[in-house]
Amino acid sequence: MFNNLSDRLTLTFKNLRSKGRVTDSDINATIRDIRVALLDADVSLPVVRAFTSRVRERALGAEVHEALNPGQQVVKIVNDELVEILGGQTRPIRLAKQPPTVIMLAGLQGSGKTTLAGKLGYWLKQQGHTPMLVAADLQRPNAVTQLEVVGERAGVPVFAPERGNVAGYDAAVEYGSGTRGYGDPITVARQGVAEAQRQQRDVVIVDTAGRLAIDTELMQQAADIRSAIEPDEVLFVVDAMIGQAAVDTAVAFSDGVDFTGVVLSKLDGDARGGAALSIAHVTGRPIMFASTGEQTKDFEVFHPDRMASRILDMGDVLTLIEQAERAFDRREQQELTRKFMEEEDFTFDDFLQQMSAIKKMGSLKQLLGMMPGMNQMREQLASLDEREFDRVEAMVRSMTPFERNHPKQINGSRRARIARGSGVTVSEVNQLLERFGQAQKMMRQLRRGGGIPGMPGMPG
């Protein structure tokens, strides 16, 4: 996710952060680097301009020159402004006063709408809601079936037009100005919302049709559905991997349907996803969610501040904790949060719990990627082998409870015993202990410095 951009920015800051004094020409050079990095990542030009001019204005001002650590101050400014570009505040779903809350999904075909419907439904259910999905994408013959599969996986009921019943589902019918479809999506959307009401579901997610490219009929259909069901939220789903076209599509949908929020999908891809970063700024609509894979659970609330800190390789410990919450049992998770808040060190016992929780969630690499400083280890991360984790787990399991809670006390003979017990070499045990110590240190720095000074991943 934004790997290249992240690498470039990290590199740019590397020199700057070590400087005791920062001259105007240092700042100008840094801003030039940032500008090139953003443009290369496909962030759109007007956004880059706005961004760099804000950074320059603040960096050349007293804020930096009078700061104790000017280099870090510049990084902080970049972080602040990146958060702003990404929309500033986290924007939660606006629930209707009178349920059901109606959420309509719009976007191009293949953007990930149907997949998202399942993810969103699953997530809402976890939040204690009683969602229902409505299959109003009647353009593609198998879209309804696809939504039904997605719904089943997510454990969320799906309202679909009955085959051969609703407005001629089986036979392709004419829609509006002659578009061929498999039924009338407006009728289905209306019926779906009514059905959700009848079943006292509190959120209804309406999946709509997309096209391969922006076209006026598609916009008209989406706009018609919008006026028919008056959704509380219209979420525009956009594939982050389509580069600059993401911004153009967003603008077209903004004009044509006027969405209330954005969902960035396929953020798990490695390509230049920078265009997506422009969308909030260009459309003035918040990015609300991110879709990060093909599985139902690959979904996150989009937090501009956390995303900025991920891009700047400051890690994303909060999302990490939240994701862990889902897999952890409540007591373990409260303990972890308490430790974080009270600046207590994480122990190998915490580590074991995390490992097993992470394993339950099944996407180890994604989670590790959120750890501070991990961007630099990306290559190792990519070549990660689950068996290596088994070895680590074996080592930790060979430790006594005392050792797990007091890693610093693990001396030479204890190390040798652990190595024997887990069938690894002593140097592997040494490596593990060293890395664990580093991770503890990073966590401490992150807490103390509010994430900025001495930031891991950015040698200072």
Q: Which residues are documented as binding site for GTP?
A: 107-114, 207-211, 265-268
Spatial separation of the C-alpha atoms in residues 323 and 357, rounded to whole Å = 9
Tell which positions 193-212 bind ligand GDP, by CB under 6 A.
Answer: 210
Buried-exposed string 227-247: b where 16+ CB fall within 10 A, e elsewhere: ebbebbbbbbbbbbbbbebbb
What is the H or E stretch that residue 52 is in?
helix 45-59
Closer CB to ligand GDP, residue 81 or residue 233?
233
Least CB distance to ligand GDP at residue 224 (A): 19
Question: Which span sits near ligand GDP by CB under 6 A: 67-75, 109-117, 306-314, 367-375?
Answer: 109-117
| Site membership for ligand GDP, residue 113 (CB under 6 A) | yes
In 3D space, the residue among 297, 222, 291 whose CA is nearest the CA of residue 257 turns out to be 222
Spatial separation of the C-alpha atoms in residues 344 and 335, rounded to whole Å = 10
| Site membership for ligand GDP, residue 266 (CB under 6 A) | yes
| Site membership for ligand GDP, residue 297 (CB under 6 A) | no
Tokens of 45: 């030009």
Least CB distance to ligand GDP at residue 238 (A): 10
Question: Which span sits near ligand GDP by CB under 6 A: 263-271, 273-281, 393-401, 425-433?
Answer: 263-271
Closer CB to ligand GDP, residue 75 or residue 209?
209
- Residue 357 contacts residue 327 (beta carbons within 8 Å): yes
CA–CA distance from 174 to each of 184, 224, 225, 228 (Å)? Answer: 8, 15, 16, 18
| Site membership for ligand GDP, residue 265 (CB under 6 A) | yes
SS3 41: coil
207 φ, ψ to 5°? -85, 130
| Site membership for ligand GDP, residue 114 (CB under 6 A) | yes
Q: In this structure, is the dihedral angle defined by the CA atoms of residues 405, 408, 409 and 413, taken in order, positive or negative?
A: positive
| Site membership for ligand GDP, residue 221 (CB under 6 A) | no
Residues 6+ apart with CB under 8 A from 25: none
Closer CB to ligand GDP, residue 157 or residue 210?
210
| Site membership for ligand GDP, residue 181 (CB under 6 A) | no
Closer CB to ligand GDP, residue 107 or residue 183?
107
Closer CB to ligand GDP, residue 232 or residue 300?
300
| Site membership for ligand GDP, residue 249 (CB under 6 A) | no
Total binding residues toward ligand GDP, as defined by CB under 6 A: 17
| Site membership for ligand GDP, residue 111 (CB under 6 A) | yes
In 3D space, the residue among 309, 310, 323 whose CA is nearest the CA of residue 364 turns out to be 323
Spatial separation of the C-alpha atoms in residues 241 and 274, rounded to whole Å = 9
Spatial separation of the C-alpha atoms in residues 255 and 134, rounded to whole Å = 24
- The residue from 268, 313, 316, 403 that contacts ligand GDP (CB under 6 A) is 268
Question: Which span sits near ligand GDP by CB under 6 A: 110-118, 157-165, 330-338, 377-385?
Answer: 110-118
| Site membership for ligand GDP, residue 44 (CB under 6 A) | no
Give the position of tokens 């501070």. 372
Question: Which span sits near ligand GDP by CB under 6 A: 165-173, 288-296, 303-311, 409-417?
Answer: 288-296
> What residue ranges bind ligand GDP (CB under 6 A)?
107, 109-115, 210, 265-266, 268, 291-294, 298
